Chains A and B, each alone.
Chain A
Amino acid sequence: MSQASRKKLLLMGRSGSGKSSMRSIIFSNYSAFDTRRLGATIDVEHSHLRFLGNMTLNLWDCGGQDVFMDNYFTTQKDHIFKMVQVLIHVFDVESKSINKDIEIFVKSLTNLQKFSPDAKVFVLLHKMDLVQIDKRDELFVIMMEKLQKISNPYQFKLVGLPTSIWDESLYKAWSQIVCSLIPNMNVYNNNLIKFNQILDAEEIILFEKTTFLVISSTTSIAQQLKQQNRSHLEDDNNIDTTALDPKRFEKISSIIKTYKQSVTKLRTNFHNLVIRGSKGNQFYIDVLTDNMLVMIILKDKEDETSYVNTHEELAVLENIKAARKWFEKIETTK
């Protein structure tokens, strides 16, 4: 395995800010309740996760008590901060000692600049569920402005995300983090668009198979395009994107994850799922490659008899089968 496909992720933050809970929910199928049983992390807990076949995520979950923290920044600093691809710094929004939190953030930025200046930095404002709903945005903006100002001298571009283990924001944040590590995103996107041209679907979403993090989707590609050449596409795509639930990806992630867990009670795994919805929508969830799942949402355009519909079902599944070959090729050529 080439060295480049190993990604080192540092998960840092003060003690009790929820680092291990996040990791357990996303990567070890814990439910939000189960995380109560997690004790304090001692020193650094390593986990190796295979992601999309040939990518390995080395997640370093760094215990946040001051004793360990001091150690990271002094004796172990070259060990910890060398060859880091991503730093994920978690802030507890309820924390009483914000200055101390920031001080540690600055310390890790200093070390990061010294040992791996190309790393990406993500800041998660965690436990957002404890803040009143109408104050969340405001708090988030203030915090991010402050943190960005602090990190300016270190030349890092911060990406800030509000999270909570009790809703879907956690999935959203982590899919953004993980997607930033996938090198050939463009190839995936191009293929996905081509696939959509064939199917003429309402939406196609790609998921990673074990974590159910969203890798790509047709709407997010369309949005990216729109941002790139805003003048062209401004008028026509507007309706589609605003009408749908903006949190649907994360919701789908958690729904399918629940399903996957419930099926294990029958000592098996799920293969595909076809839903003929009550309002004429059709949903297809199927395995695309060894590491990916695809979800396709079709909308009935005109009234059709049930016979046409059943044939269409088969056609879509055949199309998925045909697409499998192409997506498998992308995975192996990486």
Chain B
Amino acid sequence: MEATILPNPKDSNATILLMGLRRGGKSSICKVVFHNMQPLDTLYLESTSKPTTEQFSSLIDLSVMELPGQLNYFEPNYDSERLFSSVGALVYVIDSQDEYLNALTNLSIIIEYAYKVNPKINIEVLIHKIDGLSEDYRIDAQRDIMQRIGDELLDLGLEGVQVSFYLTSIFDHSIYEAFSRIVQKLINELPSLENMLDNLVQHSSIDKIFIFDVNSKIYVATDSSPVDIQTYEVCAEFIDITIDLDDLYIENENSMNDSETVIKKQELKSISHLSNGSLLYLKQMIRGLALVALVRHDENNSDLSLDSLMTIIDYNVSNFKKSLMKMWENSKLVEQPNTQNSELMN
């Protein structure tokens, strides 16, 4: 675990640093992804003056630190060395609707510095606000930006740096997709988790499976088949719908029998059949995670009836949940000897 080399062991590597020039859309991204704010309401956000941190507790404990755009990171009183060495990912937001040459220069300076301090850092570039660009122009903009950054880094003698690019907008699901990818890079257990999901997919005739963080709609893992953005959207919305309907008949109950016995919390589960024979399946997992799967079922082509298929899926998913719990406990145990203080998360 890298935790030991950090200046402060409590900052695990799962910190994301959100940077960019002013008015690039950093605060809007935070609000939309982590606070479920409506994209149009972000128009009224104030300019951020202080670094802000979002705590985000999911499969891993993640914190997103947002830096104000107008800050000069290389002022001597700013402890940027410690900052960069303690984060796992640097996300730089470029406003694609604006003149981005300034941003590119700024970015290459930051990359040079960050890479020197912490060679393990993941560098991610969000080419943001692409909703205002036409389809053709998006590709051009991405190619142009990639080209220029590549050149700049070459000039600085840093050709080995891996930089990932994402086209994002807060008005569709692309920002969630990008953040999912970024978060996934920080989960150490990801390969085994994906392996487990692949196993699940193979043995339950599942088409696509996601492990979602319920609050932010970021998926922390999926099986190895390519992600179809439409399937992702439907699955994310399926969570919302399930929770909304569930909530409708809950609140009154609290007010009614608050004095009586506490109703035991059952795990949330929902199944929806679609008219083309496939079905959507949701089951609550640990720590605010939910498993959502799209199951394709063709009555003619399979020797299983739908009921027995459901039973198999139920059984497999509950096995998966058990192993997920085990895995999570183990990952805690690994960390404990490293981070002397064992207060950790519970």
Q: Which residues of A contact B (CB under 8 A)?
A: 33, 202, 239, 243-245, 248, 251-252, 255-256, 258-259, 262-263, 265-281, 283, 297, 303, 310, 314
B269 touches A279 (CB 8 A): no
A245 touches B270 (CB 8 A): no
B259 at the interface (CB under 8 A from A): no
Which residues from B are CB-within-8-Å of A271?
272-275
Report the minimum CB–CB distance from B312 to chain A (whole Å).
13
* Stretch from B19-27, B93-101, B242-250, B338-346 contacting the other chain: B242-250
* Stretch from B10-18, B107-115, B159-167, B230-238 contacting the other chain: B230-238
Report the minimum CB–CB distance from A240 to chain B (whole Å).
9
Give the tally of cross-chain contacts (CB within 8 A): 115
Report the minimum CB–CB distance from B317 to chain A (whole Å).
13
A274 touches B270 (CB 8 A): yes
A279 touches B244 (CB 8 A): no
B263 at the interface (CB under 8 A from A): yes
Q: Which residues of B contact A (CB under 8 A)?
A: 40, 230-231, 233-234, 237-238, 240-242, 244-246, 248-253, 255-256, 263-276, 278, 284, 294, 307, 314
B268 touches A278 (CB 8 A): yes
Which residue of chain A lies nearest to B256 when distances are taken between CB atoms in the complex? A243
A268 touches B269 (CB 8 A): no
Report the minimum CB–CB distance from B287 to chain A (whole Å).
15
Report the minimum CB–CB distance from B293 to chain A (whole Å).
13
B278 touches A268 (CB 8 A): yes
Which residues from A are CB-within-8-Å of B276?
266-268
B250 touches A262 (CB 8 A): no
| Complex Cα–Cα for A279 and B250 (A) | 7
Which residue of chain A lies nearest to B240 when distances are taken between CB atoms in the complex? A258
A245 touches B251 (CB 8 A): yes
Report the minimum CB–CB distance from B253 to chain A (whole Å).
6
| Complex Cα–Cα for A72 and B230 (A) | 47
Which residues from B are CB-within-8-Å of A276?
266-270
B233 touches A275 (CB 8 A): no
Which residue of chain B lies nearest to A314 when distances are taken between CB atoms in the complex? B307
| Complex Cα–Cα for A30 and B57 (A) | 36
Q: Helix, strand, loop or mixed for chain A's interface?
A: mixed
Which residue of B230, B250, B307 is within 8 Å of A278 (Cβ)?
B250
| Complex Cα–Cα for A285 and B273 (A) | 10
| Complex Cα–Cα for A277 and B246 (A) | 6
**Seed contacts A258-B237, A275-B270; 18 additional CB < 8 Å A-B pairs:** A244-B249, A245-B251, A259-B237, A259-B241, A266-B234, A266-B278, A266-B294, A267-B276, A270-B273, A274-B272, A275-B242, A275-B268, A275-B269, A278-B250, A278-B265, A278-B267, A278-B284, A279-B249
Which residues from A are CB-within-8-Å of B241?
255-256, 258-259, 262, 273
A266 touches B230 (CB 8 A): yes
Report the minimum CB–CB distance from B260 to chain A (whole Å).
13
Which residue of A202, A239, A252, A263 is within 8 Å of B234 (Cβ)?
A263
Which residue of chain B lies nearest to A300 when distances are taken between CB atoms in the complex? B266
**Do A245 and B248 contact each other (CB < 8 Å), given the known contacts A266-B274, A269-B274?**
yes
Report the minimum CB–CB distance from A31 to chain B (whole Å).
12
Which residues from A are CB-within-8-Å of B269?
275-276
Which residues from A are CB-within-8-Å of B233?
262, 265
Report the minimum CB–CB distance from B126 to chain A (whole Å).
24
B231 touches A280 (CB 8 A): no
Which residue of B231, B253, B273 is within 8 Å of A272 (Cβ)?
B273
Which residues from B are CB-within-8-Å of A278?
246, 250, 265-268, 284
A281 touches B234 (CB 8 A): no
Report the minimum CB–CB distance from A324 to chain B (whole Å).
15
| Complex Cα–Cα for A285 and B177 (A) | 30
| Complex Cα–Cα for A190 and B263 (A) | 33
Which residues from B are CB-within-8-Å of A265?
230, 233-234
Which residue of chain B lies nearest to A254 when distances are taken between CB atoms in the complex? B244
Which residues from A are CB-within-8-Å of B268?
275-278
Which of A244, A266, A268, A269 has the most CB atoms of chain B within a 10 A radius of its CB?
A266
B245 touches A255 (CB 8 A): yes
